[in-house]
Amino acid sequence: MKYEMRTKGEFDYGLVAIVGVIILMGLFVIYSASYQKYVLSGTNLSLRQLQSGIIGIIIAAAVFKVGYQRIIDFGYYIFGINVVLLLLVLFVGDMRYGARRWMEIGSFAFQPSEFAKITFIFALAKYLGDVKDGIERPKALIAPFAMALVPMLLIFKEPDLGTALVFVPVLFTMLLIAGARLKYLMILIGSGLACAPFLWFFLKEYQRNRLMVFINPNLDPLGAGYTIIQSKIAIGSGGIIGKGWLAGTQNQLNFLPEHHTDFIFSVVGEEWGFIGSAVLLFLFYKLVEKGLRIAETTSDIYGKTLAYGIVTVFAMHIIVNIGMVCGLMPVVGIPLPFVSYGGSFLIMSMVSIGILENIKNKRKVF
Amino acid sequence: MRSRIYSTIINIAFLVILSGIFYLQVLRWPLYNTLAKKNHVRLIPFPGLRGTIYDRNGLAIVDNRLSFDVVIIPQEVENTDKTYGTLAQVLGMPRSRIESIVKKEYTAPFAPITVSGDVDKDLAFSLEEQKQRLPGVLVLPRTIRWYVYGERASHIIGYLSLINKKELEELQDYGYSVSDLIGRSGIEKAYDRYLKGEDGGMQLEVDASGRLVKILGSKNQKKGTDITLTVDAKLQAYTADCLEGKRASAVFMDPRNGEILAMASSPSFDPNIFIEPGKNDAAVRYVNSSARPMLNRAINGQYPPGSIFKVILALAALETKNATIHTTYVCPGRYYLGRSEFDCWKLEGHGPQDMRDAITHSCNVYFYNLGRKLGPDTISEYAQKVGLNKPTGIDIGGESGGLIPNPAWKKARRGQNWYEGETVNFSIGQGDVLVTPLQMAQVASVFAMEGAAPRPHLIKKIGDSEVAVPKSRIIPMSKDAVRAVKSAMVNVVSSDTGTGQRARVEGLKIAAKTGTAQAPNGEPHAWFMGFAPADDPKAAFIVMVENGGHGGVAAADIAGKVLKFAKENTDILK
């Protein structure tokens, strides 16, 4: 590939600022969500999150320096390595909370599934950029589907349904933007929906329960429905101004399970009220909007599909996560970007921002 | 175009999320705020104990004791099948019963369900030891009312049961609440507002697993006021034992001040049974029994007095100068009024009898003559003067007033004239006349105190303060007249021809009168009324045995036994 040497050299400081504010808010929320643990055992999770954040900045800066185009060249290889890691984690992964998602290297543990999202986007972007208009042919759709299906099945096996499902909208968005024919995409969505009932049989017991409970949380108020009921109570009881930092009873008294990871938004809602939740939601909206602006204004097909893929991952995580803690969607465990505790996802998210900035930076100048 | 579709979808999704948050946090805040509070705030009630009831010597008659309840906490039961099976075996109740209790009483997964209340202490301890093997099964201690004397003091003490809805509405302002027990009869009812404890409680903050985080506030419970009775518990228990197996009642009272020393009624009931809701069947059996164990015969049983009424006639005759102590009538064993014949109980006749003889031998013919001379109005007047025809005013209330007839009453009530034959019957305490045993205990006191009618009462102290002794009602009467009757009453027991010999107690001078009253069916009722020591009365008494038979034998026996017990085991007669 020939690189365009003349670029505008732009940098979106606003996007970085927004991400900075969200991460800062996240550190405070994690501190509160893990406060009882901190008091008891001295483990400060917000400090660990900060460490991951610093690592994230370094990697994001490195990626920005290298440039997305160079990475796209190696897109298939990176993706291939990631798939191997996903396969490995099923055998040698660390078992936590009943799932094999973590890979341990020395004292550092990470989740290959978090990185699979971004490596998949790179690989698909390369494919879409390479086939160009050829994507209008139905045969060209086979490879993208295969590329999505392999990591999805492996991640589903861990099991991590939420992360696996994120691949679906990413795939369709990128195909849509790359110019695939709407007719074929509709047929695919339609046949996918038709197959959905059969998927029921592949779901684990707890996953079926979650879906049942979404329809009626009171089916099992102390089992599967417990989390969603307690989460709604936490958010609802926050009211307009909230109960104050470290003062949420649902959070501090442990009524909320997983309140520093997937359900962290309910801590925001309880302690900071509607004002806090709305501010955070607004920041997320601005983040997605800025990402979209970059994607729309990029004419390079590689960069454009890449940017859309990344924005879709963010949008999915934000909407599905907040939707589920508010009881608007079934509980599929996916974290809230930059706020939920968890190193791999934070680093992956920061790297994604670095790539977006790089895409903006490398826009062609006509 | 494609990117427009995409951004529109994103915008709509964000808007939906924002509306969702707004709905939860702003519109539904009141609901979720209450739910959050309910989540982490628990109220632990500390029930205020009821006051202890003591006897005159400080012995506890009614106390509070620790009991053990076996409860199940549904969410902590690991193996329902095994748990129910083991429990059924240990508690000796069918498994289906445990299942139906749990099903009926279930409110929340963490709320304990009482499977068996007040279990045996050994059973409680053995269950406590098996705790590890039976998660979710707990033995909870609880304080419950303990009627130390059970059936033997129940008519005085009364019983408790759950407050009903109507009472709760009326009494809410006085600190009564939903699960309170309230006095249903006797002392428990009459002094309920003193005995009732004040409930306390603690507001706790708990975490998700129910562990205590901090105490938000607390209010100490207060025990109700202790009450001291005039009753001597030992005498009460012994008296009750003497009545066992009979339909009978007995009252022993200090004639000087009206303090009830013992008051028993048989058959009786065990107030402990009403405390436990699980023992409802037994309570229902009491209420439905034809022997009427719930009836306090001492204050609610109304009977014709029979011959014990004669002492009132004797007093009336002496007072009104219709007779002297020496007035003599000959008893041929029967008495004729026109063509009607009235028998003496001794069919061969007593021969010539003066007043003392007539009382000693309980000669009917003598009192037929005396009664006719006095006339029904005078008899009625004197009967009412010594306290009959109205309740005595005992502090537990609810007593019956009896009936003393006279011609005016009969005319008004039945529209009929009084027959001379009725006067004859009236003279020996038969006919329409009705009295309660307690009323006759008061009459005995009037003779003992020579004209002072004490007001019977059971309460001596409320807390530490003595309750003022109600003043005796002074009945003006000739001391000579009443002393003459008293000396005749001494003869009843001490004379070898006296009808009450069986009540004799070594070293105790007893004044008494026997009575036999015709019962509507079966054997006549047996009465024995009197006081002791005769010269310095410290106990007035009445014993009444339904269908106890002729000559007051059954009643006199009991009175004698109780007096003997009192003399040997209490300081009442000292």
The residue from B67, B185, B268, B307 that is catalytic is B307
Element (H or E) spanning B356, and its range?
A: helix B355-361
Q: Residue B95 has what pLDDT?
A: 87
What the block records as the tokens of B443 is 């009459």
CA distance A106 to chain B (A): 35
Cα(B32)–Cα(A255) distance, rounded to whole angstroms? 14
Would you call A328 an interface residue with chain B, using a CB distance cutoff of 8 Å?
A: yes
- Report the residue count for chain A: 366
B302 and B204 part of one domain: no
By DSSP bridging, strand A108-110 and strand B41-46 are: unpaired
Under DSSP, is residue B40 helix (H, G, I), strand (E, B) or coil? helix
The secondary structure of A63-120 as a DSSP string is: HHHH-HHHHHHTHHHHHHHHHHHHHHHHHHPEEETTEEEEEEETTEEE-HHHHHHHHH
Q: Residue B139 has what pLDDT?
A: 86
With an 8 Å Cβ cutoff, the interface of chain B facing chain A consists of 2-3, 6-7, 10, 13-14, 16-18, 20-22, 24-26, 28-29, 31-33, 35-37, 39-40, 75, 109, 205-209, 213
B408 and B436 part of one domain: yes
B195 and B335 part of one domain: no
The highest-confidence range among A323-332, B8-17, B193-202, B208-217, by mean pLDDT, is B8-17
Domain presence at residue B390: yes
Q: Residue B89 has what pLDDT?
A: 85
Q: Residue A7 has what pLDDT?
A: 60
B214 and B245 part of one domain: no
Cα(A236)–Cα(B78) distance, rounded to whole angstroms? 33
Q: Residue A173 has what pLDDT?
A: 94
Q: What is the mean pLDDT of residues A121-144?
A: 92
What the block records as the tokens of A105 is 């290297």
| pLDDT at position A219 over 70 | no
Size of interface A-B (CB pairs under 8 A): 116
Cα(A270)–Cα(A236) distance, rounded to whole angstroms? 7
What the block records as the tokens of B239 is 């008296």
B204 and B296 part of one domain: no
CA angle B376, B382, B385 (to 5 degrees): 140
- CB atoms B39 and A232 under 8 Å: no
User: Do the Cβ atoms of B41 and A323 come closer than 8 Å?
Assistant: no
Under DSSP, is residue B291 helix (H, G, I), strand (E, B) or coil? coil
State the CATH number of the domain containing residue B213: 3.90.1310.10
DSSP, res A219: G
B220 and B249 part of one domain: no
Report the residue of chain A nearest B24, measured CA to CA: A236
- Per-residue pLDDT of B475-521, as tens digits, reads 999 999 999 999 999 999 999 989 999 999 999 999 999 999 988 88
What the block records as the tokens of A155 is 């991640």
What the block records as the tokens of A60 is 């994001």
Would you call A169 an interface residue with chain B, using a CB distance cutoff of 8 Å?
A: no
What residue type is B499 in one-letter code?
Answer: T
Domain presence at residue B113: no
Report the phi/psi class of residue B552: left, alpha or beta, with left for phi > 0 and alpha for psi in -120 to 50: left
Which residues from A are below 8 Å from B24, CB to CB?
232, 235-236, 269, 326-327
Name the more confident of B211 and A42.
Answer: A42
B175 and B305 part of one domain: no
Cα(B95)–Cα(B99) distance, rounded to whole angstroms? 6
CA distances from B49 to B56, B174, B180, B461 (A): 22, 16, 11, 19
User: Do the Cβ atoms of B329 and B353 come closer than 8 Å?
Assistant: yes
What is the average pLDDT value for chain B, to the nearest integer? 90
Domain presence at residue B552: yes
Would you call A235 an interface residue with chain B, using a CB distance cutoff of 8 Å?
A: yes
Q: Residue A220 has what pLDDT?
A: 56
Interface of A with B in 286-305 (CB under 8 A): 288, 292, 295-296
The secondary structure of A277-319 as a DSSP string is: HHHHHHHHHHHHHHHHHHHHT---HHHHHHHHHHHHHHHHHHH
B368 and B437 part of one domain: yes
B432 and B459 part of one domain: yes
Domain presence at residue B96: no
CB atoms within 10 A of CB A203: 15
Quick one: which of B532, B21, B114 has its CA closest to A239?
Answer: B21
Q: What is the mean pLDDT of residues A60-89?
A: 93
| pLDDT at position B1 over 80 | no
Would you call A181 an interface residue with chain B, using a CB distance cutoff of 8 Å?
A: no
Report the residue of chain A nearest B214, measured CA to CA: A253
Cα(A222)–Cα(A235) distance, rounded to whole angstroms? 18
- Core vs surface per residue A18-57: b (16+ CB within 10 A) or e: bbebbbebbbbbbbbbbbbebeeeeeebbeebbebbeebb
What the block records as the tokens of B530 is 């009197």
Which residues from B are below 8 Å from A267, CB to CB?
none
User: Do the Cβ atoms of A274 and A258 come closer than 8 Å?
Assistant: no
Work out whether the CA dihedral A113, A114, A120, A123 comes out positive or negative. Answer: negative
Name the more confident of A197 and B361.
Answer: B361
User: Do the Cβ atoms of B218 and B201 come closer than 8 Å?
Assistant: yes
Which strands, in side-by-side order, build the sheet including A94-96? A94-96, A99-105, A108-110
| pLDDT at position B152 over 60 | yes
Name the more confident of B542 and B66.
Answer: B542
Q: B148 φ, ψ to 5°?
A: -55, -40
Cα(B548)–Cα(B248) distance, rounded to whole angstroms? 9
User: Do the Cβ atoms of B443 and B529 come closer than 8 Å?
Assistant: yes
Cα(A217)–Cα(A209) distance, rounded to whole angstroms? 10
Q: How confident is the model at residue A222 (pLDDT cuts 50, 70, 90)?
A: low
CA angle A94, A98, A102 (to 5 degrees): 25
Report the residue of chain B nearest A239, measured CA to CA: B25
Cα(B22)–Cα(A236) distance, rounded to whole angstroms? 9
Q: What residues are paired with B259 via a beta bridge?
A: B457
The stretches of B47-199 forming alpha helices (DSSP H) are: 80-91, 95-105, 121-129, 154-157, 165-171, 186-190, 192-195
By DSSP bridging, strand B53-54 and strand B60-72 are: antiparallel
User: Do the Cβ atoms of B305 and B518 come closer than 8 Å?
Assistant: no
Which residues from A are below 8 Å from B213, CB to CB?
253
Q: Residue A1 has what pLDDT?
A: 47
Question: Choosing among A128, A220, A253, A279, which should be mutated to test the B contact, i.e. which has the most B CBs within 10 A?
Answer: A253
- Per-residue pLDDT of A271-318, as tens digits, reads 999 999 999 999 999 999 999 999 999 988 999 999 999 999 999 999
Would you call A222 an interface residue with chain B, using a CB distance cutoff of 8 Å?
A: yes
Q: What is the mean pLDDT of residues B376-395?
A: 94
Q: Residue A166 has what pLDDT?
A: 93
What the block records as the tokens of A187 is 């047929």
By DSSP bridging, strand B227-229 and strand B53-54 are: parallel
Q: Is B484 exposed, middle or buried (0-12, 13-18, 19+ CB in 10 A)?
A: buried
- CB atoms A233 and B35 under 8 Å: yes
Domain presence at residue B15: no
Domain presence at residue B112: no
User: Do the Cβ atoms of A125 and A305 come closer than 8 Å?
Assistant: yes
Q: What is the mean pLDDT of residues B133-153?
A: 88
What the block records as the tokens of B123 is 């059973």
Work out whether the CA dihedral A298, A303, A308, A313 comes out positive or negative. Answer: negative
By DSSP bridging, strand B459-462 and strand B465-466 are: antiparallel
Q: Which residue has 């006191």 as its token pair? A: B445
Q: Residue B438 has what pLDDT?
A: 97
The stretches of B137-208 forming alpha helices (DSSP H) are: 154-157, 165-171, 186-190, 192-195
CA distance B99 to chain A (A): 21
Domain presence at residue B458: yes
> Largest Cα–Cα distance in chain B?
138
Quote ipTM for the complex.
0.93
- How many structural domains comprise chain B? 2
B224 and B245 part of one domain: no
B396 and B472 part of one domain: yes
Q: How confident is the model at residue B551 (pLDDT cuts 50, 70, 90)?
A: low
Say which of B109, B206, B213 has its CB closest to residue A222. B109
Q: What is the mean pLDDT of residues A83-92?
A: 91
Q: B434 φ, ψ to 5°?
A: -135, 140
Q: How confident is the model at residue A216 (pLDDT cuts 50, 70, 90)?
A: low
Q: Which residue has 């006021």 as its token pair? A: B225
HSE of B49, CA atoms in CB hemisphere, 13 A: 15
Q: How confident is the model at residue B63 (pLDDT cuts 50, 70, 90)?
A: very high
- CB atoms A237 and B36 under 8 Å: yes
State the CATH number of the domain containing residue B445: 3.40.710.10
| pLDDT at position B42 over 80 | no
Let me know if B3 is a catalytic residue. no
Strands (E), B225-364: 227-229, 248-253, 260-266, 329-331, 334-337, 340-343, 351-353
Domain presence at residue B176: yes
Which residues from A are below 8 Å from B206, CB to CB?
253
Quick one: which of A239, A240, A270, A242 has its CA closest to A254?
Answer: A270
CA angle B84, B42, B224 (to 5 degrees): 90
B195 and B341 part of one domain: no
Domain extent, residue B58, equals: 44-66+143-229
Say which of A236, A278, A319 has its CB closest to residue B28. A236
User: Do the Cβ atoms of A258 and A266 come closer than 8 Å?
Assistant: no
Q: How confident is the model at residue B169 (pLDDT cuts 50, 70, 90)?
A: confident
Report the residue of chain B nearest A243, measured CA to CA: B33
Question: Choosing among B11, B22, B27, B32, which should be mutated to test the A contact, i.e. which has the most A CBs within 10 A?
Answer: B32
Q: Residue A40 has what pLDDT?
A: 80
What the block records as the tokens of B71 is 């409860």
User: Do the Cβ atoms of B67 and A272 come closer than 8 Å?
Assistant: no
Q: What residues are paired with B137 via a beta bridge?
A: B72
- Per-residue pLDDT of B9-25, as tens digits, reads 999 999 999 999 999 99
- CB atoms A236 and B213 under 8 Å: no
Question: Choosing among B1, B7, B10, which should be mutated to test the A contact, i.e. which has the most A CBs within 10 A?
Answer: B10
